[in-house]
Amino acid sequence: MAVLPIQPAPFFANKNRAFWYLQFAGWGGAFLLRSAAALANERPLDLLAVILVNTITGFSITLVLSVIYRQLIARQPFITWGGTVLVLIGAVIIHASLDAWVQGIYYGISRETTFAQRFIGITYIPLTLLGAWSALYFAINYFLTVERQQDRLERLEAQATAAQLAMLRYQLNPHFLFNTLNSISTLVLLKQTEPANAMLTRLSSFLRHTLITEPGSQVTLEQEIETLQLYLDIERMRFEERLRTKFEIQDEALDACLPSMLLQPLVENAIKYAVSPQEEGARISLSARIISDRLRMSVSDTGPGVDGPLQHNLLDLPAQTPGRDNTKSTGVGLANIQNRLMQAYGDEHLFETNSQPGGGFTVTIEIPFQSEREPEPALADNTFTEGTVAETTPAPSKTPIEESAKADCGDLDNLIPSPRPIGQAQ
């Protein structure tokens, strides 16, 4: 039979119950300590009754103090601390008076002491006990107030981060839809109905797939690549054999978690600046592997690159970069990735670019490795297994437009193509 894991609740989750626990434990401990001192000094056993009455008196007075302190703690500091001192002095006087009266009854005529003498002689005991109780009461309430404010601040920060991630995620759809709808509009104007219908079908598949995941959520690298394949299917409708892809994915990296829609803007950027401006097109490569406890991903292209070596933050790139297509950028995709990484990982991420003088541009992302599944036992020989490596170029005899024209648009469930092995482009 499965055993449910024990999840201990915080001690102050129920403040009322915690108060009574501390109340009984504190005064019970005080009674035991005074009783042990009396027995150690060989005092009569009936003195324990006097100690018990004194303890019950202190217990009752602190119950009244808790009600008064609860009203004072929410006031101005001057009223709170001034009122606390006055109330504490009154409580000590009452407690000491009752103790002096009880001791007068207990000792009777065996001790020739006045009430005032007994009162002065035992005042330090209620002063110590009630003073310590009051200090502990305010300290605990201060701790709970600080903890509550800290929890509220953390919730607000989490909500702000989630809102920021959602906003960044929502920026991607208009950024991508602008280019795709432009292509569909061009096909419609050219009266190419079948290619336009096929592209709409693939666009529906892509949007339906992206809507499954919550904005700001994380997906596995395998799921991210499936989404990326849907996007490449749409772009391949536009560029056909000019768009070539190559994936090198380590098997262990497929379970790594990362923010959803993280790689699509990088591939879109490569298509815009490498595939689109060159008549012969370009090849886009994606690699991912685990290095120590981090996931390293690289997206590179064989486009014109940037004039001279470069390795810095992509946000520093100008809108019109020499050596690449000078099409005006919206500035959304690359800045979006940088902001999302900063929101998700802070300083624990790496975002670098590298361009060779002879052409080619590479973006490298490195984030902490977090696996969705439980770690499996390591192989005995510690072999390094690479994932599927595929490089595709559509056959000239049959274009992707002709293939996609056969897509079934009747059933919404058929809009998402069947899964393909990682790294295999259509």
Does residue 229 surpass a pLDDT of 60? Answer: yes
DSSP string, 146-184: HHHHHHHHHHHHHHHHHHHHHHHHHHHHHHHHHHHHHHH
Q: How many domains does the chain have?
A: 2
pLDDT score of 306: 64
HSE at residue 275, side-chain half, CA atoms within 13 A, is 22
For residues 148-157, average pLDDT:
85
* 49 lies in the same domain as 188: no
Per-residue pLDDT of 241-268, as tens digits, reads: 899 999 999 999 999 999 887 888 888 8
Phi and psi at residue 257, to the nearest 5°: -95, 140
CA–CA dist 213, 262 (Å, integer): 13
The distance from CA 170 to its chain's CA centroid, rounded to whole angstroms, is 19
Q: Is residue 152 part of a domain?
A: no
The fraction of the chain above a pLDDT of 90, given in percent, is 24
Is residue 274 within 8 A of residue 282, CB to CB? The reply is yes
Q: Where are the alpha helices (DSSP H) in 190-245?
A: 193-212, 221-239
The distance from CA 329 to its chain's CA centroid, rounded to whole angstroms, is 31
pLDDT score of 61: 93
Does residue 29 surpass a pLDDT of 80? Answer: yes
* 179 lies in the same domain as 307: yes
Does residue 57 surpass a pLDDT of 50? Answer: yes
**How far is the first Cα of the chain from the last one, in angstroms, to the nearest whole number?**
48
Q: Is residue 232 part of a domain?
A: yes
Per-residue pLDDT of 393-426, as tens digits, reads: 443 333 333 333 333 333 333 333 333 333 333 3
> Could you tell me the CATH number of the domain that includes residue 195?
3.30.565.10
Is residue 255 within 8 A of residue 295, CB to CB? The reply is no
DSSP string, 82-100: HHHHHHHHHHHHHHHHHHH
pLDDT score of 422: 36
What's the mean per-residue pLDDT of the chain? 75
Q: Is residue 299 part of a domain?
A: yes
Number of H helices, E strands in the chain: 10, 8
46 confidence band (pLDDT: 50, 70, 90): confident
Per-residue pLDDT of 356-405, as tens digits, reads: 777 788 999 999 998 865 444 433 343 333 343 444 444 333 333 333 33
* 104 lies in the same domain as 242: no
* 89 lies in the same domain as 178: no
Among 177-186, 262-271, 329-338, whose mean pLDDT is lowest?
329-338
CA–CA dist 219, 256 (Å, integer): 8
Q: Is residue 256 part of a domain?
A: yes
Q: Is residue 213 part of a domain?
A: yes
Q: Is residue 131 part of a domain?
A: no
Per-residue pLDDT of 1-22, as tens digits, reads: 444 555 556 777 788 888 899 9
Q: Which residues contact 235 (CB under 8 A, 6 or more apart)?
A: 243, 271, 275
For residues 322-333, average pLDDT:
45
* 216 lies in the same domain as 281: yes
287 confidence band (pLDDT: 50, 70, 90): very high
Per-residue pLDDT of 296-323, as tens digits, reads: 999 999 888 765 333 333 333 433 344 4
106 confidence band (pLDDT: 50, 70, 90): confident
* 84 lies in the same domain as 178: no
CA–CA dist 162, 169 (Å, integer): 10
Q: Is residue 189 part of a domain?
A: yes
* 225 lies in the same domain as 362: yes
Q: Is residue 363 part of a domain?
A: yes
* 196 lies in the same domain as 80: no
- Beta pairing partners, 355: 310, 361
Tokens of 226: 């499936």
CA–CA dist 303, 410 (Å, integer): 39
* 215 lies in the same domain as 344: yes
* Structural domain for 313, as ranges: 170-320+331-371+387-392
Residue 273 DSSP symbol: I
For residues 82-95, average pLDDT:
93
